[in-house]
Amino acid sequence: MRKLTLTAALCASTVLTAQALAQEDLRIVEEPLELTIHMHWPRAQGYDENYAVEKAAREMTGIHLKDATAGRNSTDSIEAMNLLLAMGDMPDIVAGHLIQQPVNQYGPEGAFLPLNDLVKEHAPHIQAFWDSHPGLQEAISSYDGNYYYIPYLPDGEFGRAWYIRQDWLDKLGLEQPQNVDEYYEVLKAFREQDPNGNGLKDEIPYFARQWEDVNRLLNLWDARSSGSDTYHDFYVNDEGKVVHPYAQEAYRVGLKNIAQWYKEGLIDPEIFTRGSSSRDYLLSEDLGGSTHDWFASTSGYNQALADKIEGFNFIPFLPPESAGGVRMEEHRRIPIKPDGWAISYSNEYPVETIKYFDFWFTEEGRLLANFGVEGETWDMVDGEPVYKPEVLNSDSPVNSQMYLVGAQIQRGFLQDYRYEWQWTSEPARKGIELYEANDLLIDQFLGVALNEEEQAVYDKYWPSLRTYMLERQQAWILGSGDVEAEWDDYVSTLNKMGYEDVIEVMNSAYSRQYAG
């Protein structure tokens, strides 16, 4: 941060010289160099050469990216990547959404260049980032120990939070629930005491946009629902072993209680079919009481529904203390995304390319990648990048505006949380501060890179195991099965289906990857 302020101060005081100096420093090639890029990501299926950010980067570095994206007619990035690989004719840079798995699988086969040595020799800023964040480089490595892409590295910690209708609590004379028993009482009151005042018991105490988030309730009984921001993921237990949450004893207890809550109508009875519009529907119809969802987008309803529902106040509250006395927020932003960019085997300028990747980790590159072009979308105010008022007050969200100029897109870059904070609404900011003040976060499982043999074992057993686990889970929640009665059968079926084999390969990969 100090370095940034220094650069900023320099820029502010002697604009011209500083910029001239900076440009000289950042220039990678004397003669303009063109590189082709495949970039497939959810917002756009391609890389726009007219991005303001691309133009600025071209000025500074001399490298010009030309779009060569495959699979533009599909919005599925994995499909596009498969198409690209199957065509065999690879562009210089392969970038975008969900590239980690393919680059780690096909990198060792020769499709992508290993970056370890390239970065060490030619990319001091990226190397400095790895050095200051131990464990991350290992996390993105493939099974051969090399890493093949520079990831998009999100900033900020909190993703989802527990939300509750504070105005309903006030109306019923209740306090914010501090532990699992109080939470139960509150949901029960929502169910029975008609807080929306329409004379009907139509309130839905707990709901979730993705049915999988019903599993977050497992945390209230000291069980886990996932180890990362992906649902149903493995996690590392207290003994440092990779295990799956749905094969633990605590899960049995947690699920029994969830089933009970479901039976009592505390959980949305239609949680499995209501789908992603449930938050919209249940909040705007004044029916939903509590959920577990993203900070920013969920708090946005306070503004959107202010006119429609009198006194509407849906705010984050601290995760209720579990039965075992632990307060934790299981979901957090993952520090490394599987998105970013890689160098393909057909690239004739690997050194220039890695220098170009490094450019985005310099202060200038980072500001450009996060906020867009200085003077166009933001200004430096007291050493802080601040968006122009027309950007903040526009009808379209800031992130959408950024995507249009080529900032915040899925290249390999380090996100700057100041970008998001500037347009986070007041209730969400308060919530984030509340969560920050309490030590709620737990370590994330960042995944392992399986080698070919391990992958074969995983592929053979895991998809079926996962299917079986989810089948039983839903059956138990819906009450068509009884977790207590079936537990022993369940565990022995898991073992019969190869659970132990999967755990074994996960752990051998884990210890290989994170041992050093």
Partner 1 sequence: MINEPQLHGSKTEELIVEAGEALRRRKPSRMVRIGDHVKREWQLYLMLLPTILWLLIFLYKPMYGLQIAFKDYSIFRGVAGSPWIGLEHFQTLFGNDQFLRAIKNTVIISFYSLIFGFPMPIILALMFNEVLHQTFKKTAQTIVYLPHFISSVIIAGIVITAFSPSAGIVNTVLEWFGGESIYFLTRPEWFRPIFVGTGIWQEAGFQSIVYLAAIAGVSPTLYESAVVDGASRWQMMWKITLPSILPTIIIMLIIRIGNMLEVSFEMIILLYQPATYETADVVNTFIYRQGIQGGQYDLAAAAGLFNAVVAFVLVMTANTISKRYSRTSLW
In the complex, the residues that contact partner 1 under the rule CB under 8 A are: 78, 82, 85-86, 88, 101, 105-106, 109-111, 269-270, 272-273, 275, 459-460, 463-464, 467-468, 470-471, 473-475, 478, 480, 497
Least separation in angstroms between residue 459's CB and partner 1 is 6
Least separation in angstroms between residue 503's CB and partner 1 is 18
Least separation in angstroms between residue 310's CB and partner 1 is 24
Least separation in angstroms between residue 269's CB and partner 1 is 6
Provide the β-strand partners of residue 112.
344
CA distance 423 to 408: 14
443 or 500: CB nearest partner 1:
500
468 or 487: CB nearest partner 1:
468
Q: What H or E segment, with its residue span, contains residue 235?
A: strand 235-236
Least separation in angstroms between residue 102's CB and partner 1 is 8
**Any residues with CB less than 8 A from the CB of 263 and at least 6 apart, and which?**
479
Q: What H or E segment, with its residue span, contains residue 65?
A: strand 63-67
Token representation of residue 386:
């601040």
109 or 436: CB nearest partner 1:
109
Least separation in angstroms between residue 101's CB and partner 1 is 7
203 or 364: CB nearest partner 1:
203
Contact 369, 413 (CB under 8 A): yes
57 or 271: CB nearest partner 1:
271
Counts for the chain of helices (H) and strands (E), in that order: 22, 13
**Any residues with CB less than 8 A from the CB of 134 and at least 6 apart, and which?**
none
Least separation in angstroms between residue 466's CB and partner 1 is 9
Sheet holding 33-40, edge to edge: 63-67, 33-40, 93-96, 340-343, 150-151
Return the amino acid letter for 343: I
Contact 334, 155 (CB under 8 A): no
78 or 172: CB nearest partner 1:
78
Distance of CA 4 to the CA centre of its chain: 26
101 or 178: CB nearest partner 1:
101
88 or 325: CB nearest partner 1:
88
Least separation in angstroms between residue 472's CB and partner 1 is 8
The terminus-to-terminus CA distance of the chain in angstroms comes to 29
**Any residues with CB less than 8 A from the CB of 127 and at least 6 apart, and which?**
119, 120
Least separation in angstroms between residue 474's CB and partner 1 is 4
CA distance 424 to 430: 10
What's the sign of the alpha-carbon dihedral 293, 418, 423, 430?
A: positive
Phi/psi at 262 (5° precision): -65, -45
| CA–CA distances in Å: residue 161 to residues 44, 205, 320 | 29, 16, 11
Least separation in angstroms between residue 164's CB and partner 1 is 22
146 or 474: CB nearest partner 1:
474
57 or 113: CB nearest partner 1:
113
Phi-psi group of 29: left, alpha or beta (phi > 0 → left; psi -120 to 50 → alpha; rest → beta): beta
